């Protein structure tokens, strides 16, 4: 895989192996060895795998089917009877979206308003910091980097009340600002750590060559490194997006009013207050799921790569 | 300036969002412009690149953590003046309170039966979720490895990772839905119980097993993560090791147990510890499914209830719970980092 940046061209070896160049005999041997590592007993294995996959999918599938059934059907029969006695309606979705009972449309918009700054700002800040840790020499660099890394262990619960006090002192409470700022802060340690790892993988000779050509830090950062870091940025961007969109704790603490509440928190609230109205809850759940699911399916490649690079946030 | 802090309409909301992003871009551009001028001293470059992050982390993580730790050793009590009488706040006419040093928050958490239950539940979460999810993930990764439908099979198990814990909780609440015996069941699990001739069961309400049904949801979410990481680890076991073992006569399950598993051990440990940390902090599932009622609360949820739902009296206990959370996490992370180093050396 070779990435063509505007200034440089270099092969990044994150997951590419030189397999293409093997002869077919070597390839066969490799496959046989691969088989040996895991082969238990095939027909049984496949059967068990299929059963497990079905078991894992049934809960989601059941609620999905339910979200399209008329309320009367939902309350009187199980979703599995749908196939014998089908009845489809889209009213659950329209009701959940705009009805006075659900009205998730507004919360859906709040989610978008929250998520964009909460993804863009930490990534930008972390990129700058990661560049500095990777390519600028200064006294105390290692100590500071370890300190940032260590801050990953602070559970966000520990910070909530003092942060709340700070926001109140600045008169920012009950606006989007605390949500953006706290998501930024909570995302930073992991972002810096991940992006620093990726930046370190860029060969030093490239950065040196640019320096010799007279490029300053800013030019090196934007022209040389940024094009190479697109996969890493995408990987962390997806993480942060999913994390912010799916978050409940930060939203409940810092965006408690309905005017600010994101969709995930709104659905959680719905589950508490209208716990038995499954026509509303099922449609609501899928309205809240659809965006992260689309992002996830569309960009799965980057997501998995980020996961394997050790990026997991608790 | 109402739109800036209290946006009401959709237009205002997006306006304040764009303003926030532009404000950020403007500040960053200014910093970069200063750095990029000729003959800037090195320290200014470092301050420009690292300053914003350092301030954000110091004010937003480091100071709050210390402050919470300090608060966990304080309790609120009625202030007593020098004359031995309670101090009355002249503005409100109420007795004013003051914070004094005390270990009472911690004593309460560890001795009160309600809180002990919370701690025990948390222990179950932190042990069961990682072990079962990792075990499942490993088995599943092996079963589907290089089969025809591997991609689809993996995607199906991985999908819950994209679903929020709130969404997952609702999905499972519906699985667990209970109707009285005789009435048509709408939850699949109770229908299965009836099909095999048993009485319907209140999965979410009946103690003590309800905690385990909540744990099931977390396992369901995390198995996909375990599977993905372990599958990659299995695929990267070096061929020469396998070849050597084969020459020595190892095949099938023995080869898997004696060669594959030991080789991917570091990855297994990383997965275990990562999931353990996630389970420790998981607040969404308990909050959405039971709200912490019916004896299902865990530390992360109880922290929220104490800190934000009990007024001033709960804040100290909430702080103590947060500190306990922190203290449990530290050794797990240290172990995790050491294992990550090990697995990097092996690569």
- CB contact A168 to B (< 8 Å): no
Question: Where is average pLDDT lowest: A89-103, B5-19, B130-144, B291-305?
Answer: A89-103
Please give the C-alpha separations between residue A214 and each of A9, A207, B42, in angstroms, as whole numbers: 19, 11, 16
Report, in angstroms and rounded to the nearest whole number, the Rg of chain A calculated over CA atoms. Answer: 25
Interface touch B68/A76, C-beta < 8 Å: no
Interface touch A136/B46, C-beta < 8 Å: yes
Domain B111-346: state its class. Answer: mainly alpha
Q: Per residue in A229-276, pLDDT tens?
A: 888 888 888 889 988 999 999 998 998 888 889 999 988 888 888 878
- From B297's Cα to the closest Cα of chain A, the distance in A is 15
Residues of B in contact with A121 (CB under 8 A): 21, 24
Q: Per residue in B206-251, pLDDT tens?
A: 888 999 999 999 999 999 889 988 888 888 888 788 888 888 877 7
Q: What is the pTM of this model?
A: 0.84
CA distance A182 to A184: 5
CB-based contact A304:A238 (threshold 8 Å): no
Closest alpha carbon to A251 in A110, A80, A96, A57: A110
- CB contact B308 to A (< 8 Å): yes
> Mean pLDDT of all residues in chain B?
85
pLDDT at residue A14 is higher than 50:
no
User: How high is the ipTM of this complex?
Assistant: 0.85
CA distance B219 to B136: 9
Residues of B in contact with A308 (CB under 8 A): 228-229, 232
Q: Per residue in A74-115, pLDDT tens?
A: 888 888 888 887 888 888 888 888 866 558 888 998 999 999
Contacts 24+ apart (CB under 8 A), B310-319: B312/B76, B312/B97, B313/B76, B315/A161, B315/B71, B315/B76, B316/B71, B316/B72, B316/B74, B316/B75, B316/B76, B316/B104, B316/B105, B317/B105, B317/B108, B317/B109, B318/A161, B319/A161, B319/B68, B319/B69, B319/B71, B319/B72, B319/B105
> What's residue B170's pLDDT?
92
> What's residue A35's pLDDT?
60
SS3 content of chain B, % helix, strand, coil (to 5): 70, 5, 25
Pick from A122, A268, A309, A311 the residue to mutate for testing the B interface (most B CBs within 10 Å): A268
Residue ranges of domains in chain B = 2-76, 111-346
Interface touch A158/B260, C-beta < 8 Å: no
Local confidence band at A310 (pLDDT 50, 70, 90 cut-offs): low
Q: Per residue in B239-294, pLDDT tens?
A: 788 888 888 877 777 888 888 888 888 888 888 888 888 888 888 999 999 888 88
Domain(s) of CATH 1.10.3720.10: residues in chain A: 104-308
The CATH topology of domain A104-308 is MetI-like fold (1.10.3720)
């Amino acid at each position: 895989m070779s990435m063509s940046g505007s200034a440089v061209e270099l092969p990044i070896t994150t997951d590419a192996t030189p397999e293409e160049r093997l002869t077919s005999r070597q390839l066969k041997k490799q496959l046989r060895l691969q088989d040996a590592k895991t082969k238990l007993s095939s027909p049984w294995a496949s059967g068990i795998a299929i059963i497990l996959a079905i078991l894992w999918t049934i809960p989601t599938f059941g609620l999905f089917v339910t979200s399209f059934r008329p309320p009367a059907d939902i309350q009187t029969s199980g979703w599995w009877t749908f196939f014998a006695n089908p009845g489809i309606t889209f009213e659950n979705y329209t009701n959940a979206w705009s009805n006075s009972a659900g009205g998730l449309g507004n919360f859906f918009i709040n989610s978008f308003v929250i998520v964009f700054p909460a993804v863009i700002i930490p990534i930008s800040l972390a990129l700058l910091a990661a560049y500095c840790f990777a390519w600028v020499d200064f006294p105390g660099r290692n100590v500071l980097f370890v300190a940032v890394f260590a801050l990953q262990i602070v559970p966000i619960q520990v910070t909530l009340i003092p942060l709340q006090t700070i926001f109140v002192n600045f008169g920012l409470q009950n606006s989007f600002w605390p949500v953006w700022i706290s998501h930024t802060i909570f995302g930073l340690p992991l972002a810096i750590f991940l992006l620093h790892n990726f930046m370190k993988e860029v060969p030093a000779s490239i950065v040196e060559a640019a320096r010799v050509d007279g490029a300053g830090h800013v030019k090196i950062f934007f022209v040389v490194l940024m094009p190479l870091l697109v996969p890493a940025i995408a990987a962390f961007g997806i993480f942060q997006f999913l994390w912010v969109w799916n978050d409940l704790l930060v939203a409940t603490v810092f965006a408690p009013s309905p005017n600010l509440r994101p969709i995930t928190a709104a659905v959680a609230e719905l589950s508490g207050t209208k716990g038995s109205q499954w026509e509303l809850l099922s449609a609501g759940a899928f309205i809240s799921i659809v965006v992260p699911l689309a992002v996830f399916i569309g960009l799965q490649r980057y997501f998995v790569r980020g996961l394997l690079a050790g990026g997991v946030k608790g | 300036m109402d739109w800036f802090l209290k946006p009401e309409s959709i237009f205002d909301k997006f306006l304040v969002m764009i303003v926030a992003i532009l404000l950020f871009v403007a500040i960053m551009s200014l910093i970069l412009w200063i750095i990029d001028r000729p003959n800037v001293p090195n320290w200014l470059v470092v301050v420009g690149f690292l300053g914003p992050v350092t301030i954000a982390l110091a004010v937003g993580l480091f100071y709050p953590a210390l402050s919470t730790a300090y608060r966990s050793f304080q309790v609120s009590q009625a202030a007593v003046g020098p004359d031995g009488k309670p101090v009355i706040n002249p503005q409100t006419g109420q007795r004013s309170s003051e914070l004094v040093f005390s270990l009472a928050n911690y004593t309460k958490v560890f001795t009160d039966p309600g809180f002990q239950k919370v701690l025990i539940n948390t222990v179950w979460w932190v042990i069961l979720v990682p072990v079962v999810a990792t075990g499942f993930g490993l088995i599943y990764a092996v079963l589907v490895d290089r089969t025809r439908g591997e991609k689809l099979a993996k995607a199906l198990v991985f999908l819950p990772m994209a679903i929020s814990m709130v969404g997952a909780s609702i999905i499972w609440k519906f699985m667990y839905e209970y109707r009285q015996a005789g009435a048509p069941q709408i939850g699949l699990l109770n229908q299965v119980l009836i099909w095999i001739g048993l009485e319907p069961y209140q999965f979410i309400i009946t103690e003590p097993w309800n905690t385990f049904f909540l744990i099931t949801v977390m396992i369901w979410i995390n198995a996909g993560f375990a599977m993905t990481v372990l599958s990659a680890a299995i695929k990267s076991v070096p061929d020469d090791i396998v070849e050597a073992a084969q020459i020595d006569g190892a095949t099938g399950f023995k080869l898997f147990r004696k060669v594959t598993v030991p080789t991917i051990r570091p990855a297994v440990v990383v997965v275990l510890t990562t999931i353990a940390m996630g389970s420790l902090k998981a607040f969404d599932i308990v909050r959405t499914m039971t709200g912490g009622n019916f004896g299902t609360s865990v530390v992360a949820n109880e922290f929220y209830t104490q800190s934000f739902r009990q007024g001033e009296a709960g804040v100290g206990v909430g702080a103590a719970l947060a500190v306990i959370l922190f203290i449990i996490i530290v050794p797990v992370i240290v172990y995790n980092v050491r294992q990550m180093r090990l697995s990097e050396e092996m690569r």
